[in-house]
Amino acid sequence: MSGVPVHIRARRGDIARAVLAVGDPGRARRLSRLLDNPRLVNEYRCLLVYTGEWRGEPVTIATHGVGAGSASIVFEELIQLGAERIVRLGTAGGVKKSLKPGAAVVADSASAFPGGCGLAQYAPGLVPALAPDPVLTVRLYEGLRAGGFSPQLGTVHCSDAFYAEYPGLGERLERLGVVAIEMEAAPLFLISRIRGVRAGAVFIVSNVIGSREFLGDEDLGRRVDEVAPIVLDALVRD
């Protein structure tokens, strides 16, 4: 795939082969402080992108925004600029009732509503496979276990509309084996397969669907800070 990126106004060489992608520009800014020699390589449209080093290896931390439309554009442009491994680190609503706010989820697959998340445009008339890279996924899962987490491995459902879920959706998804719901993993997994790169996704559970208990911003930030080094370790391993 070739072309000049429209939204990530960086050049080849500005983007590392290993990319940690997050939705929130504030989170990208915060996580960039984990890197050695971080430099801001894009701020256009508030899609903050930083590149630095982790354990001596180049790494990029990129903002993909909210929802599949924004994220798909960013994933495509990061790949145009040289990304070869992308891990989304984000938040998700728990579907599996045994999950608690603050739990870690590693996606081994994703689901979506028919044609949702831009999938119908990438694969018209097909139900595409939505799975991350298996080797990268195992590294993420084993890294979290070694780091003292008890990660949940399973399917995440990808939704386009944060406020449009209908009553009973959580129970329906749980019966289908879904463990959490979020908004960007499905296009990441499909685009990565189409473009020949490796992808994975890790989530912190912010709440459980149907419950009013939410993880506070401070606790959520602390949890992301704990998980991010494990994700970075997985990304820089060849």
Q: Please write the tens of the pLDDT for every residue from 25-63.
A: 999 999 999 999 999 999 999 999 999 999 999 999 999
CB contact at 8 A, 59 and 89: no
Radius of gyration of the chain (CA): 17
Domains of the chain are: 18-236 (3.40.50.1580)
pLDDT score at 3: 67
Beta partners for residue 188, in sequence order:
none
Q: What is the dihedral of CA 140, 142, 143, 144, to 10 degrees?
A: 90
Q: What is the dihedral of CA 29, 10, 192, 171, to 10 degrees?
A: 30
Least Cα distance to 39 among 9, 73, 15 occurs for 15
User: Could you tell me which residues come within 8 angstroms of residue 196 by beta carbon, excluding any fewer than 6 positions away?
Assistant: none
pLDDT score at 30: 97
Q: Mean pLDDT of residues grouped by 10 in the chain (238 residues)?
A: 82 97 97 98 97 98 97 98 98 94 97 94 93 98 97 97 84 95 98 98 94 90 97 94
For residues 34 and 222, what is the distance between their CA atoms, to the nearest angstrom?
13
pLDDT score at 202: 98
CB contact at 8 A, 203 and 137: no
Instruction: Give Cα separations from 155 to 12, 62, 127, 212 (angstroms).
Output: 34, 24, 16, 23
235 three-state secondary structure: helix
Q: What's the gap between Cα 113 and its chain centre?
A: 18
Least Cα distance to 43 among 22, 31, 29 occurs for 29
What's the pTM value of the predicted model, to 2 decimals? 0.96
